[in-house]
Amino acid sequence: MAIVSNTINYLDKDTVLEGFFAYDDGLSGIRPTILISHAWAGRDEFVDNKAKKLAAMGYFVFALDMYGKGVCGNSLEENTALMQPFIEDRALLQRRIQAALQALKCTPWADETKIVAMGFCFGGMCVLDLARTGADIKGVIAFHGLLGAPDNLQEQPISAKVLVLHGADDPMNPPETVMAIQKELTIKKADWQLHSYGHTLHAFTNPKANNREFGTVYHADADKRSWQAMQNFLTEVFS
């Protein structure tokens, strides 16, 4: 077994984007497929390493790029500036992640009938919005995602199964926001579940998160528990 990984360019209109893919070359043919959406800094080593880890489990994995080839933030201010246009224009966000889904489907290893999208922080919002568009995928997983709903997809039903992995003390998702997404998913007839981890802040899967004042702190137990919940979900939706 060897994990093969590389980058691939794709487009959203005139914007050149750079995705990262990984797969086990000991397996042949198409295989269940995972699309990963990065956090607010951009596509980085964190999601690329998640792609490799998932590839070792037998999946074909594509880590998308929301910002543009080579574009990454290096501070809270830079990250905010990169993310904010997508927060303000959710239709742009939805079009950009749909471009990634189409690029994924063009690869020779992806099973188009077995796709799950997962994302971290801002990436959690991205994959939830992908589900909100009615995309024909099996499921979405949001790790400490931003949960607020867009204004432009209020009537669109959700066919993908939804797993929300949430820190109970996440200051970026107050209780009213958590209640709102549960109500939204119920109204839209989604098959959904939400796991809330006690004493847990935002960015709990990222070992580099250590800014308690900002609300981002790594939590080893929540990281392990959410990863196990993800594996259970993948087994269910891909069976």
**SS3 of residue 59 by DSSP:** coil
> What was the pLDDT predicted at 229?
98
Decide: 69 and 16 in contact? Cβ < 8 Å.
Answer: yes
Decide: 158 and 142 in contact? Cβ < 8 Å.
Answer: no
Confidence of residue 118 (pLDDT cuts 50, 70, 90): very high
> What was the pLDDT predicted at 32?
98
> What was the pLDDT predicted at 155?
85
What are the residues whose beta carbons fall under 8 Å from the beta carbon of 204, sequence distance 6 or more?
144, 167, 197, 217, 218, 219, 222, 223, 226
**Residue span of the structural domain in which 228 resides:** 3-238
Q: For residue 126, how many C-alpha atoms fall within 13 Å in the half-sphere facing its CB?
A: 33
Confidence of residue 189 (pLDDT cuts 50, 70, 90): very high
Helix runs in the chain, H state only? 45-55, 76-88, 90-105, 122-132, 175-187, 220-238
Q: How many domains does the chain have?
A: 1
pTM of the model: 0.97
pLDDT tens digits, 50-83: 999 999 999 999 999 999 999 999 999 999 999 9
> What was the pLDDT predicted at 147?
98
- Residue 40 sits in a domain of what CATH number? 3.40.50.1820
The greatest distance separating any two alpha carbons of the chain, rounded to the nearest whole angstrom, comes to 48
pLDDT tens digits, 136-147: 999 999 999 999
> What was the pLDDT predicted at 88?
97
Gyration radius of the chain's alpha carbons: 16
